[in-house]
Structure 1
Amino acid sequence: MDIPTYWKNFKQQHSEVTTDDYEAFSLGNPNDIAQQDSLAHLISDGIKTATTSAYDLYAQDESDPLPKVGEYGIILDGHQQPLCITKTVVVEIVPFLQVSAEHAYHEGEGPRTLDYWRKEHWKFFKNEYKEEHHEFNEELPCVCEVYKLVYK
């Protein structure tokens, strides 16, 4: 199903939603379809209710604004097909080393521990920053977003 039709179906079932503002996106490495599928399914299964992104890289891409409380996201799988819709409920900006164990748990990946979260996100952010010709360090700010599943 295409993204506009998916949004239309959601709105037909949720008459309280009056906006047509949403962002459609996949999570993870854009070159890793399996990772994108896995993360999308964790969200649609209600396991993954949070995500973390690199604050500094938002400034590199003006077409990708910071998330805002109340906004909707259409989560795409690795083939860019809509799988579910989320609504953002919390956005915090904290240094990498201050991301909490609770947030790591809500990310829903692996054993859901802070150690696992730091190891995996360190690799991910280091690579993202390298692609932008910057160096990642543990003091750099991260955007910690919490959302709820509202449609699938």
Structure 2
Amino acid sequence: MEIGGLSRVEFAFPGPLRDQLVAAILSGAKTSTSGLVVEYERENEPLPKVGQQLAVVDSEDRPVAVIELTELRVLPLAAVDLRHALDEGEGYQSVAEWRAGHESFWHSAEMRAELGDPGFTVNDDTLVLAQRFRLVRAVRG
């Protein structure tokens, strides 16, 4: 589904976590995000590209912002650095905190259902897509 000619991007699943992440994007606190490469592979989707603009949607599936990808790195989970963790805008103070929070999300029932694998787990070698972006504009309803 495209919004205004832009591909949409969802942060987490609809609900409190998405609301928190969208608010952090709109405030400028969140300038990076992490995804699993396996999500793209499972959906047979190409990885996003630097310079691509995306429409951020809220929990009600409404476009709320446009972001532009400024840096993309595919790296093993064990190689995620502190700068990336801090720039996620979720209050992490260390890579260990970031990893614990993300493992909890990636091991959730919702994520396992999305991946079609009830026993899905990540490890140090799991490939992560570390994305850096900038807020282009907020979208007013």
Aligning the two structures, in what range does the TM-score lie when normalised by the shorter sequence? Answer: 0.7 to 0.9
RMSD: 1.8
| CA deviation after TM superposition for structure 1 residue 112, in Å | 4.2
CA-to-aligned-CA distance 1:73-111 (integer Å, 9 cap, x gap): 111111111111100010000111110000001101024
For structure 1, the 5+ residue unaligned runs are 8-19
Amino-acid identity (%): 23
Q: Distance in 2 between matches of 1:90 and 1:54?
A: 16
1:68 counterpart = 2:49: yes
Matched residue of 1:135: which SS? coil
- Does structure 2 retain, via aligned residues, the 8 Å contact 1:48–1:109? yes
The one of 94, 118, 121 aligned to 2:102: 121
Number of aligned residue pairs:
132
The one of 76, 94, 99 aligned to 2:75: 94
Higher helix proportion: 1
Q: TM-score, normalised by structure 1?
A: 0.78
Q: Which residue of 1 aligns with 2:31?
A: 49
- Does structure 2 retain, via aligned residues, the 8 Å contact 1:94–1:144? yes
Q: TM-score, normalised by structure 2?
A: 0.84
Q: Which residue of 1 aligns with 2:135?
A: 149
For structure 2, the 5+ residue unaligned runs are none
Q: Distance in 2 between matches of 1:115 and 1:137?
A: 13
Higher strand proportion: 2
- Does structure 2 retain, via aligned residues, the 8 Å contact 1:85–1:151? yes
